[in-house]
Amino acid sequence: MQIPDIIIAVDGYSSTGKSSFAKQIAKEFGFTYLDSGALYRGVTLFAMENGFIDDDCKIDVEALDAALKGLDLHFGPQGTYIGSRCIESRIRSLDVASKVSPIATVPQIRSFVDGKLREAGSRKRVVMDGRDIGTTVFPDAELKLFMTADPLVRAQRRAAEMASKGDVASLDEVLRNLQERDYIDSHRETSPLTQAPDAIVLDNSNMTPAQQMDWLKEIISDKFGC
Ligand code: CDP
């Protein structure tokens, strides 16, 4: 299937499989996949390692904002990097996950990440996943999906994914983390997680990856006549 040069925004709740689906879409149509959450996770790790956030998630916003100017956070061959250091597996840990949503409430951090995302999407043919891609980062994206799934199904998937990487966390801990993040993400003042009015909802609680792709192809063929 040949599709036009568009931006596909995939937003939704934590651990609904946005990144797996976005990667699957990118592969299918030859698009570039961009993981906006990885940049928030990267800023979180940077803040943790440099003392800009404490154990109670108190953030020194002024100092962190000043330090962002010198932060070389970018996508590379193995995922996300700070300078030449690959931080991909480090940013997926539960300690980073437990601090990322407070970090993502800070407007200065959001505009730092937005700048990087808009630059990366300027040539179209990208599929980007996150919380505010279709509402704030690319409000004119030609195709917007909003993903949701049953919380327990989501926690089970995430716990299994972590276990497969040797990262041990109880189902309870994972469920609590994703519910906390959903709450903070939906209630923050700047760019909260909300469904764009023109987004199409996908509840994939009971869907396989192949079924998701069939569902999407039908939508694309209706919308773009291809
Ligand atoms: O774990 P999951 O894949 O669901 O989340 P993620 O995409 O890695 O994003 C981690 C966190 O970054 C989210 O819980 C949000 O707090 C924040 N985020 C955001 O605020 N806006 C985005 N566009 C992407 C992520």
The response to whether residue 134 sits with its C-beta less than 6 Å from ligand 1 reads: no
Would 2 be classed as within a structural domain? Answer: no
DSSP single-letter state for residue 126: E
Would 216 be classed as within a structural domain? Answer: yes
What are the distances in angstroms from CA 191 to CA 25, 39, 128? 25, 16, 16
The response to whether residue 212 sits with its C-beta less than 6 Å from ligand 1 reads: no
Would 199 be classed as within a structural domain? Answer: yes
Would 1 be classed as within a structural domain? Answer: no
Would 175 be classed as within a structural domain? Answer: yes
Atom 15, ligand 1: residue with shortest CA distance? 101
Using an 8 Å Cβ cutoff, are 178 and 151 in contact? yes
Distance 226 CA to ligand 1 centre (A): 32
| pLDDT value at residue 1 | 86
The response to whether residue 19 sits with its C-beta less than 6 Å from ligand 1 reads: yes
Pocket test for ligand 1, best of 14, 178, 193 (most atoms within 8 A of CB): 14
The response to whether residue 40 sits with its C-beta less than 6 Å from ligand 1 reads: yes
| pLDDT value at residue 168 | 87
Give 145's strand partners: 10, 200
**Low-confidence residues of the chain, pLDDT below 70?**
none
Cα angle value 9/11/17 (rounded, 5°): 110
The response to whether residue 181 sits with its C-beta less than 6 Å from ligand 1 reads: yes
Identify which of 68, 49, 3 has the alpha carbon closest to the alpha carbon of residue 29. 3
Distance 225 CA to ligand 1 centre (A): 32
Using an 8 Å Cβ cutoff, are 174 and 158 in contact? yes
- Ligand 1, closest atom to CA 104? 20
Q: What residue numbers bound the domain in which 13 lies?
A: 7-220
How many structural domains comprise the chain? 1
Identify which of 104, 141, 140 has the alpha carbon closest to the alpha carbon of residue 22. 141
The Cα–Cα gap between 4 and 188 comes to: 34
Would 226 be classed as within a structural domain? Answer: no
Q: What's the pTM value of the predicted model, to 2 decimals?
A: 0.94
| pLDDT value at residue 139 | 97
The enclosing domain of 40 has a CATH number of 3.40.50.300
The Cα–Cα gap between 182 and 37 comes to: 13
Would 225 be classed as within a structural domain? Answer: no
Please give the sequence-ordered ranges of beta strands (E in DSSP) within the chain, or none if there are none. 7-12, 32-35, 73-76, 79-82, 85-86, 126-130, 143-148, 200-203
Using an 8 Å Cβ cutoff, are 105 and 159 in contact? no
Identify which of 44, 5, 19 has the alpha carbon closest to the alpha carbon of residue 129. 19
Would 13 be classed as within a structural domain? Answer: yes
The response to whether residue 185 sits with its C-beta less than 6 Å from ligand 1 reads: yes
How is residue 108 written in tokens?
């200065």
Residues in CB range of 50: below 8 A, 6 or more apart: 67
